[in-house]
Structure 1
Amino acid sequence: MTSSLHHRAIENLGTRIVSGDLPAGHLMLAEQLEEELQVSRSVIREAVRVLQSLGLVETTKRVGIRVLPASRWNPFDPQVIRWRLAGNARGAQLRSLAELRAAVEPVAAELAAQNAPAPLRLELVDVAYAMREAGNSGDVPRFLELDIHFHSLLLSGSGNEMFANLMGQVAETLTGRTVHGLMPDHPHEAPLQWHVDVAEAISRGDSAAAREASGRIMRRTISQMSDSWTEQPRVFIPVRR
């Protein structure tokens, strides 16, 4: 029960902060949150600790809990990504993630063609063909599961641990696009084939072909989603001097 209340408090406050309902600079007191959320002081303390670790709030003795601006948030945390995808900043979040993936995944595909272990190469091919089957049949939950697995294998296969640690962010992106109706029930045949092309190029060790096919996927993804972020402002992080 305590765990459930703790999760509920984090979700409530995190969603409201990221959506702007609790704007930057807003001050909260622990006793007010206890009453509002109907939870104990210990639950509030733990929830605030988690939100602090994400850069959403800071606490000041005798002042309270202050909401921090978006430039202070941890943009790589899957929870922050999920909250942003559920709110008014969805377009901006999709843009940031698409640009990150476009920069990383083609390079990861190239590295996977050079470095991935043989079992991973074989699994990637199997997953790519299963994705195409699920996409053509309109099995959306199965397609999402396979899509996440495909891109996780791709990042892992690069042999770069920093790329591999983007799996959670990519999973939240793909899940968010599906949950919020931004993915078709029947994906176009071209990107389904490009996933197969990436997998087969990696399987045979053709790094140039793997990078090119992955780049095609990301260019199409950006083209399809760009309307969702046309009017969304970018977040500029101050440079520390």
Structure 2
Amino acid sequence: MQDREVVEQVRPAAEVMNNRITDVLGRDIATGALAPGTRLTLVGLQESFGVSRTVIRDCMQILEALNLVYSKRRIGIVVQEPSRWNVYDPRIIRWRLSGPGRNEQFESLTELRIAVEPLAAAGAARRASQDQRQRLLQLACRMREQAADPEAFLAADIEFHTLLLDASGNEMFASLGGVVSEVLSGRSRQNLMPEGGPRPEALDEHEAIAAAVAQADPAAARARTADLLLEVEDAILRRHQEPAL
């Protein structure tokens, strides 16, 4: 029994260490601090982080699964070109949004949302369950109520958009829930939300989307979602074009 308790205590600590090292290396790769073609070694990483080779090997397996690196005999561990990365993975999105290329990443992700979410909203208007329709209405209402509380508003916003994707009935759209969550969280982390809280127009659009889904009106759901996202795109482009002070 004591041995089991020791194992249970050690496991979380090991997971925290693995996550920390993976985050550091993943962020360095995703932000360009470790350029494509950079060669790494288990020994060098082990010395740099002061951990065992087993820990480093576990972290490399995670990064390999994300296609951020690959291993080659007699060469070592090599950083991959961005074209090989699993760019839809929420971890890579989060790391890219933390670096100098965040503007381009926000733009490409917003374009993805513009392409997908209006169709997902139309699908939700056709296929959502009654519970899902009711929940979207509740979330739109909660977003207005929590507009002055950034954390509560963000939680409701994330749930609204991930539910919209899930309620579409399209498993491909539903699988992008983590992507959208990272985009919305990233805007908050990078202080890209409008000053003074959400714009009234955005709150209106969320309520209109929820109402269109609840009323089983695919055309209205698609149009209102497109309007919302085009406003988001305009806001992001304007923010990125503002001169540095």
* Coarse TM-score class (shorter-chain normalised): over 0.9
What is the CA–CA distance in structure 1 between the aligned matches of 2:208 and 2:97, rounded to whole Å? 30
Q: Is residue 66 of structure 2 the alignment partner of residue 60 of structure 1?
A: no
Residues 92 and 229 in structure 1, CA contact (< 8 A), matched pair in contact too: no
What is the CA–CA distance in structure 2 between the aligned matches of 1:120 and 1:183, rounded to whole Å? 27
What is the CA–CA distance in structure 2 between the aligned matches of 1:228 and 1:30, rounded to whole Å? 42
Give the aligned partner of residue 81 of structure 2. 69
Q: Cα gap change, 1:152/1:74 in structure 2, threshold over 3 Å: closer, same or farther?
A: same
Give the aligned partner of residue 84 of structure 1. 96
Specify every segment of 5 or more residues in structure 2 that has no aligned partner in the other structure, as ranges: 1-12
SS across alignment from 1:82: helix
Give the aligned partner of residue 5 of structure 2. none
Give the TM-score normalised by the residue count of structure 2. Answer: 0.91
Q: Cα gap change, 1:14/1:56 in structure 2, threshold over 3 Å: closer, same or farther?
A: same
SS across alignment from 1:25: coil
For residue 33 of structure 1, report the CA deviation from its aligned partner. Answer: 0.3
Give the structure, 1 or 2, with the largest relative contact order (CA under 8 Å, sep 6 or more).
1
Q: Is residue 24 of structure 2 the alignment partner of residue 8 of structure 1?
A: no
Residues 116 and 173 in structure 2, CA contact (< 8 A), matched pair in contact too: yes
Residues 129 and 196 in structure 1, CA contact (< 8 A), matched pair in contact too: yes
Q: How does 1:41-60 map to 2 (within 5 A)?
A: 41-60=53-72
Q: Is residue 204 of structure 2 the alignment partner of residue 193 of structure 1?
A: yes
SS across alignment from 2:146: helix
Q: Say which of 189, 201, 206 aligns to 1:179.
A: 189
Give the aligned partner of residue 106 of structure 1. 118
For residue 112 of structure 1, report the CA deviation from its aligned partner. Answer: 0.6
Q: Cα gap change, 1:78/1:121 in structure 2, threshold over 3 Å: closer, same or farther?
A: same
Q: How does 1:225-236 map to 2 (within 5 A)?
A: 225-227=236-238
Cα displacement string for residues 49-99 of structure 1 (whole angstroms, at most 9, x for unaligned residues) = 110111110011121110111111111000000000000110111011101
Which letter maps to 1:82? R
Which letter maps to 1:125? L
Which letter maps to 1:111? G
Which letter maps to 1:189? P
* Count of aligned residue pairs for this structure pair: 228
Q: How does 1:98-137 map to 2 (within 5 A)?
A: 98-135=110-147
For residue 229 of structure 1, report the CA deviation from its aligned partner. Answer: 5.8
Which letter maps to 2:210? A
Specify every segment of 5 or more residues in structure 1 that has no aligned partner in the other structure, as ranges: 231-241
Which letter maps to 1:149? E
What is the CA–CA distance in structure 1 between the aligned matches of 2:185 and 2:240, rounded to whole Å? 18
User: Percent identity between the aligned chains?
Assistant: 41
